[in-house]
Amino acid sequence: MAFTFYKYHGTGNDFIVIDNRENLYNKKDTKLTAHLCNRRFGIGADGLILLENDQRNDFKMVYFNADGNESSMCGNGGRCIVAFAKFLNIINRTTVFNAIDGAHNAIIENGIVELQMQDVKKIEDHSTHLFLNTGSPHHIQIEQNVDDIDVKSLGAKIRFGSPYNEVGSNVNFVSKINTNIFKIRTYERGVEDETLSCGTGVTAAALAMHYREEALGENISLKTLGGELKVRFKKVKNTYADIWLIGPSIQVFKGEVL
């Protein structure tokens, strides 16, 4: 099966992106998806994204982790597929697209994509960490200096440990730089390693820091290993609403799978 693919990244979180509006890609072939995402024997990526037709919205996003399995929402992947849709002339400046967790609004201008995330109505605050779902589940752990953390080792231990076990959670380690700037490192389930950036993790961390009153404003910057992302939101009673993940999305190259 021959097809064209594009490589995109959002602050180092990289994806194979395919126009699948004619349903040429076999979504059930987990081995193929895992092979393509393999950095030694395939193209190499944190995940694979299909752009498909949608009856109600401009397009549909289908996201697979690097292990080949379809996964929950990916924030940076969502921003990248918006840039891809713009490249394909499916959209102009604004769009509404469908993803596994529902419809998302987005804006793209000068290479910067603003992606509206789903509202968050519940944050679990534990003595050692916080837990919330921003389209994907996230464990948030505050550390004095994230540079000192063995993210792969500790992240895997938490991700497969109680109460997450086999279902698992993404694991984020966060350090405060100042009132509204934080540094974050993330272990992603499905990739089973540290990634340079995680959009849903950045979103979760921003809300968690505001919930803990470590952040005072509703516009927060988070420095990932791959670059800086911004999150803005509104706190409405006990709900975080109007949440936007903001940052660059870059097309790296185009290729053919033969």
Grouping H, G, I as helix, E, B as strand and the rest as coil, residue 158 is helix
Active site residue 37: no
Bond into 248 cis (ω within 30): no
Active site residue 80: no
- Measured distance CA(154)–CA(172) in Å, rounded: 10
Per the residue annotation, which of 36, 50, 74, 83 is the catalytic one?
74
Which helix (H) or strand (E) segment is 117 a member of? Answer: strand 112-117
The pLDDT of residue 167? 87
Q: Which domains does the chain have, with CATH numbers?
A: 3-116+249-257 (3.10.310.10), 124-245 (3.10.310.10)
Per the residue annotation, which of 198, 207, 208, 245 is the catalytic one?
198
Q: String of b and e for 172-189 (b: at least 16 CB within 10 Å)?
A: bbbbbeeebebbbbbbbb
pLDDT, averaged per 10 consecutive residues of the chain (258 residues), comes to: 94 98 96 98 98 98 97 97 98 98 97 98 97 98 97 97 92 97 97 98 98 96 98 96 98 96
pLDDT digits (tens, 9 = 90+) for 29-85: 999 999 999 999 999 999 999 999 999 999 999 999 999 999 999 999 999 999 999
pTM: 0.96
Residues 6+ apart with CB under 8 A from 72: 63, 100, 101, 135, 136, 137, 200
